[in-house]
Amino acid sequence: SQKIEQNSEALNIQEGKTATLTCNYTNYSPAYLQWYRQDPGRGPVFLLLIRENEKEKRKERLKVTFDTTLKQSLFHITASQPADSATYLCALVGDYKLSFGAGTTVTVRA
Amino acid sequence: GAVVSQHPSWVICKSGTSVKIECRSLDFQATTMFWYRQFPKQSLMLMATSNEGSKATYEQGVEKDKFLINHASLTLSTLTVTSAHPEDSSFYICSAAPARAHLNTEAFFGQGTRLTVV
């Protein structure tokens, strides 16, 4: 069966450090992978999309890598700030629908 | 980015009653809308896909007679939870797309509706 696993449920880091989140998938052959941010009691907000032929994508302090051989994506938040505290979800398209991992909740301490 | 508005943001209802949740695309025509449910600390689970002017497609295990979806216009889809029970209490989120476009680019989500059935 298809699975999307995000490595940890929660990640606590000090302000200014880099947060690294992992997304592993099985039984998907995605042409691309997406990352979303979800704040408590809110819907997800799109952050980044990376295609299978792209190794790395950046947007401001965010960096995403995509390794289709390892079936893994890494999501980095550099120079983290308390405002980055949220749950981050990875998402893949399979069978014409978007499927999500359970998310990793990041808490950045000032 | 495109704006998707969901209403209400929260609702409390008595067991056995029905609740309607609206999802509107404010600045584009949404031929396809998706309804998700999210339990605490869990992933978003797709419940159904609705296409304007046709019947919704429900995911396995989702009762179509309990979760009624109507997508009568290109800017509005509604989800009605009929005869709600406490186990239906959850966070319901809609997503809208101009076509299948969102499967190739980003998806636009509503702000979600917290349903509590007492």
Could you report the per-residue pLDDT of A50-94, keeping only the tens digit for each? 998 998 999 999 999 999 999 999 999 999 999 999 999 999 977
**Which among A34, A96, A102 has the least Cβ separation from residue B42?**
A102
Taking the CA of residue A86 and the nearest CA in chain B, the distance in Å comes to: 12
Place of tokens 């969901």: B6
Measured torsion, CA atoms of residues B56, A2, B39, A78, in degrees rounded to the nearest 10: -120
> Are residues A43 and B93, on separate chains, in Cβ contact within 8 Å?
yes
Contact criterion met (CB < 8 Å) for A34 and B106: yes
Which among A108, A98, A85, A95 is positioned nearest to A34, based on CA atoms?
Answer: A98
* DSSP assignment of A16-52: TSPEEEEEEEES---SEEEEEEE-TTS--EEEEEEET
In this complex, the residue of B42, B106, B112 whose CB is nearest that of residue A43 is: B112
CA distances from A32 to A28, A35, B31, B37 (A): 11, 10, 22, 24
- Are A17 and A81 within 8 A, CB to CB? no
> At A96, is the pLDDT very low, low, confident or very high (cuts 50, 70, 90)?
confident
